Structure 1
């Protein structure tokens, strides 16, 4: 049996602070389940092939409020839009969230999605004399600075007894990294998403490691504090979270339907999407803010401080909000019973 995580007093206070304010505001108005949301518009960011086609495929797109979808294919853009009050809900990895905390951005982290970590990969060029992470010493290794790829590569190197300074680390965007890898300018590449799968399928790359065991698997859902604190928008956000939760459960059992919806939006080959799902590290899900979530997030921030990416410690705990936990837990229980 695993030992349960325990929040420190400081972390617990930080996680609960925003929740108590929001709960107090909603108690005064009585808004919540059953509230009339007809006049509410949620501004929601999504990634191409993400939440919007997911909800459509699962039949969860007929909401009692209006959704104004905004395609933003970068977690940093989600944070910037939230901080500028141009968005109500967004998502991304723990890393843009870490920077948001360091910069004291106007954002809260209200839930997490659990996604496939097998698409976060470190690969070697097919002809390179590299068969393990230890073999990366002195080699040209592409990565994307201040992303999950930067984090898991650092952790993999540390595990192999190497430091970032032991490799020729080359910071490249995903598209530039793929071009460099395909043209033989890189010996290895740490990358996430479809580009890594493309490197394996089209360039003969050899898989060295995935993100499993290095990344927490927690991908935060970001929210605008104004939306969290407003009773009607809080109710709408809660409804949206439950729809995403149900849609993930649907997709796990009916993935070809979601894959077809993704293809319509991304124009990626259907079989590649199906193959990627077949190799997934775990099913998709949406969960609340359990005590381990801010703790593992803090470990990510502390690693980036050690790597020199952050100029000072980012205290992430105070940005996590538990006010949606009860609704998410109830939704999960209903899924188990169904």
Structure 2
């Protein structure tokens, strides 16, 4: 069942956003100072009105589809969904004021804050880590991470693959420079891996089961290296508007119900989701059943802040993040009560 645009106002990804190259950072910018100057959280006296517009960044067939499939749409406010291809673009859109709320991994906010972006982290999505792995060819002599020394290892730069690969190497006394790292897009990595141009490939998502079905072997998963945290981000300006802040709270409640429905109806969700993304329901269901955990939305904890800081510090140590940042001021726990409340 594809996402039905008649139940919510769906827009395209914003086209007028100035590309400020947030990934490059800004040498003199101080994101922490900008975030520290935010006004105190505004509290809505009542729920959102039908005139309230909440602009929501989403990915293909993800949270918007879960809301639709679980019967959580329409919302009592005007929800406008825009599809994005990456968390980096969502950070740019939030900073530009084109989007009110959206999610990403722990990595894009770190780069955005380093570049002076205005954003707040308001909730944590807990999700799977089993399908983020290091693959080797079926006949490879590589049997451990230590065996990667001097080998050609593909990865996706400034993503979770670079993070967990660095952590895995460090655990066995190796540095990133002790391998031959090859930064590739997922599509480029798949082609290089299948052609034998890589000795190993750090990759995530649907590339993993497809490669395994062609004979690839999982050397190690990211379980124990990744937190499984994905961060819900918001525009400080949206949070300052009582109507939008109330709409975000309502959106989170509905999203929690949608995730609970997903977890309780894996076969139905696999049918809906697989049809939307163009893969077989069999593969989709295999991934869902082998997940380390099902997708959920949770309140912010001190451990979540520490995890995000560790990610930022790791990328700074790798020389990818231009400067060390303090990410704690970006976290805003105003929705923790809503995120902790038992679902009705």
Q: Same fold (TM over 0.5)?
A: yes
Alpha-carbon offset, residue 263 of structure 1: 2.0
Are the aligned partners of 2:48 and 2:244 in contact in 1 as well (CA < 8 Å)?
no
* SS class of match (1:127): coil
> What secondary structure sits across from 2:343 in the alignment?
helix
Q: Cα deviations across residues 71-121 of structure 1 (Å, max 9, x unaligned)?
A: 102000100111111111111100001111211211111001111101111
Q: 1:38 & 1:106 partners in 2: Cα distance?
A: 27
Q: Which residue number corresponds to residue 9 of structure 1?
A: none
Find the aligned partners of 1:321 and 1:20 in 2 and give their Cα distance: 11
Kept in 2: contact 1:19–1:323 (CA 8 A): no
2:40 to 2, 10, 21: 21
SS in structure 1 opposite 2:201?
strand
What is the DSSP-based 3-state SS (H/G/I as helix, E as strand, rest coil) of the residue aligned with 2:209?
A: helix
What are the ranges of 5 or more consecutive residues in structure 1 without an aligned counterpart? 1-12
Please report how far the alpha carbon of residue 159 of structure 1 lies from its aligned counterpart in structure 2 after TM superposition: 0.9
Q: Which residue of 2 aligns with 1:42?
A: 54
Q: Distance in 2 between matches of 1:79 and 1:190?
A: 24
Aligned to 1:95: 107
Corresponding position: 1:241 with 2:252: yes
- RMSD across aligned C-alpha pairs, in angstroms? 1.7
Judging by fraction of residues, say which structure has more helix: 1
TM-score (norm 1): 0.89
Is the contact between residue 99 and residue 314 of structure 1 (CA under 8 Å) also seen in structure 2?
no
Q: Is the 8 A contact 1:18 1:320 kept in 2?
A: no
- Counterpart in the other structure of 1:283: 294
Matched with 1:131 is 143
Aligned to 1:7: none
TM-score normalised according to structure 2 size:
0.87
Deviation, 1:264, is: 2.7
Structure 1, residues 185-208: CA drift from partner, whole Å, max 9, x if none? Answer: 111000111112221123x11111
2:11 equivalent in structure 1? none
Distance 1:61 1:120 in 2: 31
Q: Aligned-pair distance for 1:20?
A: 6.7
Q: How does 1:1-338 map onto structure 2 within 5 Å? A: 21-22=40-41, 25-26=42-43, 31-32=44-45, 34-202=46-214, 204-330=215-341, 333-334=342-343
CA contact (8 A) 1:119 1:192 kept: yes
Would you say how many aligned residue pairs link Structure 1 and Structure 2?
312
Higher relative contact order (CA 8 A, sep 6+): 1
Tell me by how many angstroms 1:17 deviates: 5.9
